[in-house]
Amino acid sequence: MSVTLVLGPVLRHVGESTAAVWVQTDAPAEVEVLGCSARTFQVQEHHYALVPVTGLTPDSVHEYQVRIDGEIVWPEPDSEFPPSVIRTRGPAGAHRLKVVFGSCRYPKTGVQKLDDKLGLDALDCYAERLTATPVDEWPDALLLLGDQVYADELTPEARRNLSGRRQTKRRPPDEVVTFDEYEGLYRHTWGDPEIRWILSTLPTAMIFDDHDIRDDWNTSAPWRAEVNEKPWWRDRIHAGLGSYWVYQHIGNLSPEELASDEDYQKVLANDGDCWPHLVELADRADYEVDGDKGLRFSFRWDLGRSRLIMVDSRNARILDSGERKMLGDREFRWLEDQVNDDLGTVDHLLIGSSLPWLLPPALGDVQTINEIAADRDGLRGKLAETIRQTADLEHWPAFLKSFLRLSALIESAADHSSTGPATVSVLSGDVHHSYAARADFPGKHATRVHQLVCSPVHNYVPAPLKPVFRLVWSPRLARVTRRWARRAGSPDLPMSWRNLSGPLFGNTIASLNVSGRDAEVVFEQPRDDGSLTSVITVSLTD
C-alpha cells in the first residue's frame, strides 16, 4: 500500500540557495523535493519530514513536486491551483520585500450560522487572488502571528469528536489534551484547499499565541499555579508544546540552525517514536530554571536588506520566580544581539510579537496600573490579579520592566545613525482590531517607528467591544489615564504614539511593502464576492 500525504507541503525557511519543505504522511517514508530527500520521523502514530532543499540558485524560481517513496503526491491530480514554487532571495532582490501578515485565524466550522458570523477568511481570499497573480509579484514571506489553532475554542464538529473520546472525567470534554487531538486541529485548520496551496508556495514564518495552548496562557504566576493544579494540564502542555515544535517551530529555523539544534538532531536519529523526547522538550520549555526557560522559540530571518526577528512573547515569560518579565534576561539579551548585529546594513527592521508592543495609550496605562496593584500584598493585590485575568490585562504594558526595555532597544535601533534602518516596525496581532500607530521618541530620529497590528484574519470581535476600542484611542482619555498611571507609580514613558489608521474591525490581511528605503503597509478586507479590497494604506517613511 502506498504512503499518503496527509498534510502539506508547507514551505518554511527559504534562503539564497536553500529551502525547507514540511510534510505529514500516514506512514514511514522517504520524502523527496527537487532531488533532495529526508526520512520521516514518528510521533506516536503520525509521521513527519522537514526536507532540506539545497543547491538552489539565488534570485530564481523553482517549480517543485513532492515525491513519497518515489511516487508523486503533490501537486494533487487535476489540481486547479498553479504549481507550487520556491522563490529564492539574492542580491538582485535585496532592496525589495513584500511581507503578508496577520493573526487569529479560526477554521471554518461547517455550521452556516457560525461561518456567517465569522465572515470570509481573509487568507483564503488572498490565496484565491494569488492564483491569478504573476509569480514575480508574489509576497516574499507570510507571517502568521499567533493563534494558528484554537485548542480551547473548538468547532462544534471538533467538540463532538472529542466528547466521544473521553472515557473519564480526568480530561475536559471541550478542550484538546493529547498530541493526537492537536494533530486533528492542525489537519482541520491547514487542510482547507486554498490554505494548503498558499502554505505550499509562500515561505511561512510562525509564532504561537495563547489559543494555541489555552486562552490567557501564562498571564501571571497565580494563573500558572491554578492551572497546574488541573489533573490534565501537564498532558496539555506536553501535547501543545510538542505539537508546536513539530508543526511550527522547526520550520522557522535555517539549515545551519537545524544542524546545530540538539533536539532536532535527536529526533532525526531516533528510529522509533519520538514522543518521549517531545515530552521532555515540552517540560524544559515550560519550566523556569534560574529565571529563564530551557528552550528558545524566538527566531530571526534575514530578508535581503530587511531583518525579521520574531519574539516569543508567550512561553518565554518569567513568572514563577516572583518576577514578572515578558522575556527572561538571557532571551532578552539574545533579542538585543539580533537587533544590534551589523545594524548599519539593515534598511528595515521588523520585530514580530504576537502581542502588540503599543496598545491604545489608555488601555496600555490601565494594564500598567493593574500590574502595579497586582504586585501589592493583601486584598488590593488579589483584586487586581482577578481583574488582570478577567480582562486579559497581560500585554507588554502589563510587564512594565520588559515594556521599557523593549522600548529602549527600539529607540536605540532608531538612533543608530543616518545609515541605520529607515524604519523599525513591530508586527503584531491578538487584539481583534487592526491599526497602524507611529511612535515618537524625544529628539531627532531619521528612523520611523511603528506598531502595525493585523487581527483577526478570520474571527470576530463582539459588538459591545467595538466602541470600547474606539474610546481607548481617545487622546483626551489617554491624558487622564497617564496622570492616573503616574500617581500609581508608573515612570514617564520614553515615547508617545498616535494612531495613523483604525481601529479597523473585521477580517483583515496586511502587507508590508518595501522598496529601497521606502515602505508602506496596506490593510485589505474581503468583499462579499470573495475579492479583497484595500481599506487603509499608510506610508511608513513620510
Of 63, 77, 84, 71, give the one whose Cα is nearest residue 27.
Answer: 71
How confident is the model over 121-163, as pLDDT tens digits? 999 999 999 999 999 999 999 999 999 999 998 888 878 777 6
Residue 168 confidence (pLDDT): 61
Which letter, b or e, does each residue of 106-115 get, where b requires 16 or more Cβ atoms within 10 Å of its Cβ? bbbbeeeeeb
Pairing of strands 141-144, 96-102: parallel
Average confidence (pLDDT) over 259-266: 97
Report the alpha-carbon distance of residue 204 to residue 196 in Å, rounded: 12
Q: 331-346 pLDDT, tens per residue?
A: 999 999 999 999 999 9
What pLDDT is attached to residue 304?
96
- pLDDT tens digit string along 65-114? 999 999 999 999 989 999 999 999 999 999 999 999 999 999 999 899 99
CA 466 to chain CA centroid, Å, is 24
pLDDT on residue 270: 95
pLDDT confidence of residue 162:
75
Instruction: Find the distance separating the first CA and the last CA of the chain, reported in whole Å.
Output: 61
**The three three-digit cell numbers of residue 225, written as one number:** 499555579
428-473: pLDDT as tens digits: 999 999 999 999 999 867 899 999 999 999 999 888 889 999 999 9
pTM of the model: 0.96
- What type of residue is 297? F
Rounded distance, CA 427 to CA 432, Å? Answer: 14
Evaluate whether 310 touches 334 at the Cβ level (below 8 Å): no
Tell me the CB-side half-sphere exposure of residue 92, using CA atoms within 13 A. 7
pLDDT at 171 over 70: yes
Q: If you average pLDDT over every residue of the chain, what do you get? A: 95
* Angle of helix 156-163 versus helix 179-190 axis, rounded to 10: 160
Would you say residue 116 has pLDDT above 80? yes
Q: What is the pLDDT of residue 323?
A: 86
Return the ∠ at Cα 508 (arms to 121 and 59), rounded to 5°: 90
7-38 as b/e: b if 16+ CB within 10 A: bbbbbbbbbbbbbbbbbbbbbebbbbbbebeb
Asked whether the predicted pLDDT for residue 326 surpasses 90, the reply is yes
Q: pLDDT tens-digit profile of 225-250?
A: 999 999 999 999 999 999 999 999 99
Task: Enumerate domains of the chain plus CATH numbers.
Answer: 1-91 (2.60.40.380), 94-539 (3.60.21.10)
CB 175 within 8 A of CB 212: no
CA-based Rg of the chain, rounded to a whole angstrom? 22
User: CA quadruple 396, 400, 401, 403: dihedral positive or negative?
Assistant: positive
Q: What percent of the chain has pLDDT over 70?
A: 98
Mean pLDDT of 478-483: 96
Res. 174: pLDDT tops 90:
no
- In the sheet that holds 66-68, the strands lie side by side as 36-39, 30-33, 66-68, 71-74
Amino acid identity of 244? Y
**230: left (phi > 0), else alpha (psi -120 to 50), else beta?**
beta
Write the pLDDT tens digit of every residue in 421-438: 999 999 999 999 999 999
Joined together, the cell numbers standing for residue 228 give 497546574
* CA-based nearest residue to 411, from 353, 360, 351, 484: 351
> pLDDT of 374-386, one tens digit each?
999 999 999 999 9
Q: Judge whether residue 165 has pLDDT over 80.
A: no
Cα→Cα distances 197→303, 381, 435, 532, Å = 23, 50, 28, 18
Residue 182 CA to chain centroid, in angstroms? 17
Q: How confident is the model at residue 166 (pLDDT cuts 50, 70, 90)?
A: low
Model pLDDT, residue 416: 63
Cβ atoms of residues 460 and 508 within 8 Å? no
Whole-number percent of the chain with pLDDT over 90: 90
For residue 181, what is its C-alpha cell?
A: 487531538
- 531: cell is 475579492
- Say how far apart CA 395 and CA 370 lie, in whole Å: 11
Is residue 433 within 8 Å of 405, Cβ to Cβ? no
Strand order in the sheet with 41-43: 5-14, 19-25, 46-53, 41-43
pLDDT grade for 419, boundaries at 50, 70 and 90? confident
What are the cell numbers at 40? 520521516
In degrees and rounded to multiples of 5, residue 370 shows phi and psi of -65, -40
| Reported confidence tier of residue 167, pLDDT bands at 50, 70, 90 | low
Task: Supply φ then ψ for residue 271, to 5 degrees.
Answer: -85, -10
